[in-house]
Structure 1
Amino acid sequence: MATTHEVIPEYTPPDFNRLGLAHAPVVQTAAAPKDGVLPKNYHATSNHPEYVHLGNGEWILARQSRMDSVMVLRGRELEVVEPRRVRAGDPVVLGRTENGEEGIYLHISGFEPLSEHFADKFSFRNRGTRETPFSRSYDELYQVLRHDRDTGYIVWVLGPAVAFDMDSRSAMQGLIESGYCHALLAGNALATHDLEAARFRTGLGQDIYTQAFQPMGHYNHLDIINEVRQRGSIPAAIEELNLRDGIMYACEKRGIPYVLAGSIRDDGPLPEVIGDTYQAQDAMRVHAKMATTVIAMATQLHSIAFGNMVPSYHVLDDGTVRPVFFYVVDMTEFCVDKLANRGSAQAVAILTNAQDFMVNLWNNLRG
């Protein structure tokens, strides 16, 4: 069995003496002029580890740094905050440089293996594409999930395609029931079609095994939404309708938290769907702060949104810094390319359909 260090790369913090930053300027702050408004020259954070200099060679790491937020420094306490959450008078960190010139240091190579330093500067096939064999990615993912099942926080971001197939839906249920999911993020569609499958054995009116259209099947997802709304909640509907399988059933059975974020296109929606965008964002950020592994599958906009919330690292209770693994499972490179373009360069693509991925994963992790 692989050791923790073989599964989770060790973090190498910056050596500020070697970098010539022992006597760098002390980081500066300025008071926010009003609620939700930042002072001039504020520092916008990335999703990489960022340090600020308090003086006398003392640098502290911002916990849970993420993109497009700011740092608020109160004494020796450094908090990363979304700009809309800043309050008048908050001491916001200032500076637009990243190499210590203003007491801020951005560290991008903490998890870089030693071999990276000896790699050729030019190489072919250095990004995951449709031509990439993903055997190594799968093997690493199996190890990471086995490790994080017991010691980490695994977050799934799912699109409805997972619920349209009997095998992938059953595989996701098995993974949840086996402890490989600590939180589920989705939209109205995933929950609706999963409950539709539990009630009618269809997904958007198609049989979830044969894919054959069922008579009047296009009513099924609307009917299940109506039945859930009549009962007031998903858990009440599961109980009263005697639904006994599926993704939502497994979440309720295991007490797994889920966030269903609404969209303009939603039918219904189900009672648990959060219609306010910023409330949904806040609910998702709770899990972004705890995530150690993320699997985002078959939902491009949701994957990109959550990718922008997730740090590239996680600070454990004992102060150990470890990477956050982010896997994007989709049929095309678009989603992972978009994430990379938005700063989430740690996203790893596995290009395949949701059904094949789920069945492969479950067959290797079950038992």
Structure 2
Amino acid sequence: MTHSRTVELEGHIIDSGTMQRCFGAVMDLGGSFDVERFDVGKHETEESYCRLTVSADDPETLRGILHELHQNGAVLEDPSDVELVAAPADKVVPPNFYSTTNHPTEVLYDGEWIGVERIEMDCALVVEPEPAADAGEGDRADASDPGGSPRAYTKTLNAIEEGDLVATDQSGIRVKPPERPRSGGGAFGFMQGGVSAERPSESTIREVAAELRAVKADGGNVMVVAGPAVIHSGAGDALADLVAGGYVDALSAGNGFATHDLERSIYGTSLGMNVETLEHPRKGHKHHIWTISEIIRAGGIEAAVEDGVVTEGVMYECVEHGVDTVLAGSIRDDGPLPDTITDAVEAQDAIREQAHDADIVIMLATLLHSVAVGNCLPSTTKTVCVDINPATVTQLLDRGSAQAIGMVTDIGTFVPTLAELVLEDGDAETAVADE
């Protein structure tokens, strides 16, 4: 017996390769398809439409095919309202709960499509038929919504509360993956194509710099995710200049990054090495733990800046310019610094708040931290991941952050070049405006 369902695809499905992916998925998963209607968009802004019937020999195979098509933006013909099941207990989701993608998502509730707030991957999707007017940020509330209208939003599994109405399966849910601009331009259109070590580095960095300035000119939010190699490679001064220039609104890093940066301010070394001369001062290997001790003695990074213990560097500029900083700890940390969040769930929640405010994220030489932040980002957030190791960049994309643009290059070259292009061009634009 053959089992079948009809699905619809709409948008720039040819240019973006969506049709190709969907057709391939059906065949790869053991099904077949019949295209019933295909309307091709013939102009740059005109969208295409495709309706196809998907068939399989058994319901389980068909379910798997439909799931894959759903991830690529396909919607069941004549979808029914989203199926909601109450969570049986705190942190417990119903069986077959819908696990979100990081793409813009809508749910069909009471005959109307509702946008899902604060979308990110691997979360549960909760619907509130009549949201309380005093819902808090922990409930993913939109402060502009006084209550009364149905809302849909994501919740991590550990935030689920008994009675939450959780979406199950994928009926009544539609996602909209990012589309490749037909013109080749648009947001990050200049870098379409994922990871490459062969792109002209300076011209690509120039495009990133232009995007960074454009985001700030529009009042947007810039988030930087930085690893210790930024300091150890000698790029810390350039990153500090970007912070001082107002081009960083949020910094997400680990205990190691902050410690290396603070060590450089206090002792002139990073991991005991002078970054400029490459010399290793006597007892330089103790500098990092002495640095942590000095910051603890001062009462934290901000207090160390106020007391003159720390007088330069990225963390100094973050304090001086009120940059939102989250230091997430790990099992490997020395000390750690008193500012480091050692509770993993608490750190994740803090990163999540930063990520959802970001309009562009620059990830610099840190695999695990980049993946962690990438998991919290919607696919509409412009993301640049830079590392000398191509595996870092490809792993981020493989984990689902398909919107990320990867640059395989030396971080010690990338950051100073970026800062020079952003700050010099920014100064030139300011001078022209002043005239």
Classify the TM-score, shorter chain.
0.7 to 0.9
Instruction: Report if aligned partners of 1:25, 1:55 keep a CA contact under 8 Å in 2.
Output: no
1:45 aligns with 2:100: yes
Counterpart of 2:161 (choices 87, 90, 103) is 87
Question: Which is worse superposed, 25-34 or 46-55?
Answer: 46-55
Task: Name which of 48, 63, 73 aligns with 2:127.
Answer: 73
Structure 1 residue 328: Cα displacement: 0.6
How is 1:157-236 mapped onto 2 (pairs within 5 angstroms)? Answer: 157-166=225-234, 168-236=235-303
Whole-Å Cα distance in 2 between the matches of residues 35 and 361 of structure 1? 46
TM-score (norm 1): 0.84
Partner in structure 1 of residue 324 of structure 2: 257
The alignment status of 1:311 with 2:366, answered yes or no, reads no
Q: Secondary structure at the match of 2:277?
A: coil
Q: 1:181 is paired with a residue of what secondary structure? A: coil
Q: Deviations over 1:234-289 (max 9, x none)?
A: 11122324432100000000011111111111111110011111111111111011
- Which of residues 103, 124, 135 is equivalent to 2:172? 103
- From 109, 112, 115, the equivalent of 2:180 is 112
Unaligned runs of 5+ in 2: 1-44, 52-73, 130-149, 185-191, 428-435
Cα RMSD for the two superposed structures: 2.3
Compare 20-29 and 73-82 and name the one that shifted more.
Answer: 20-29
What is the identity percentage for the equivalent residue pairs of Structure 1 and Structure 2? 37
Q: 8 Å contact 1:165–1:209 — kept in the other structure?
A: no
Contact between 1:67 and 1:309, CA under 8 Å: does it hold in 2? yes
Aligned mates of 2:48, 2:107 — CA distance in 1: 14
Please give the alpha-carbon distance, in whole angstroms, between the structure 1 residues aligned to 2:419 and 2:227.
18
Q: Partner of 2:421 in structure 1?
A: 364
Structure 2: distance between partners of 1:25 and 1:283: 36
Cα distance between partner residues in 2 of 1:183 and 1:271:
19
Name the aligned partner's letter for residue 181 of structure 1: V
Q: CA deviation at 1:106?
A: 1.5
Gaps of 5+ in 1: 1-11, 97-101, 117-124, 314-323
Give the counterpart letter for 1:212 in structure 2: E
Letter in 1 for 2:282: P
Structure-2 separation of matches of 1:325 and 1:204:
32
- Pairwise CA distance, 1:136: 4.9
Q: How does 1:14-29 map to 2 (within 5 A)?
A: 23-29=78-84
1:81–1:107 CA distance, 2 compared to 1 (3 A): same
- 1:153 partner letter: N
1:33 equivalent in structure 2: 88
For 1:299-321, what per-residue CA distance to the aligned partner results, in whole angstroms no more than 9, with x for missing partners? 111111111111112xxxxxxxx
Amino acid at match of 2:161: R
1:64 counterpart residue number: 118
TM-score with structure 2 setting the length: 0.72
Q: Which residue of 2 aligns with 1:333?
A: 390
Taking the aligned partners of 1:126 and 1:355, their CA distance within structure 2 comes to 24
* AA partner of residue 284 (structure 1): I
Higher relative contact order (Cα pairs below 8 Å, separated by 6+ residues): 1
Tell me how far 1:15 sits from its aligned partner: 9.9
Matches of 2:326 and 2:232 in 1, distance apart? 20
Matched, 1:156 2:224: yes
2:362 matched to 1:295? yes
Inter-partner Cα distance in structure 2 for 1:331 and 1:252: 29
Residue 45 of structure 1: CA displacement? 0.2
Contact (CA 8 Å) 1:157, 1:303: kept in 2 or not? Answer: yes
Tell me how far apart the structure 2 counterparts of residues 342 and 247 of structure 1 sit (CA, whole Å): 29
Q: 1:353 aligns with which of 405, 410, 417?
A: 410
Tell me the distance in 2 between the aligned counterparts of 1:126 and 1:358.
Answer: 22
Q: Any conservation in 1 of the 2:292–2:337 contact (CA below 8 Å)? A: yes
1:114 aligns to what SS in structure 2? Answer: coil
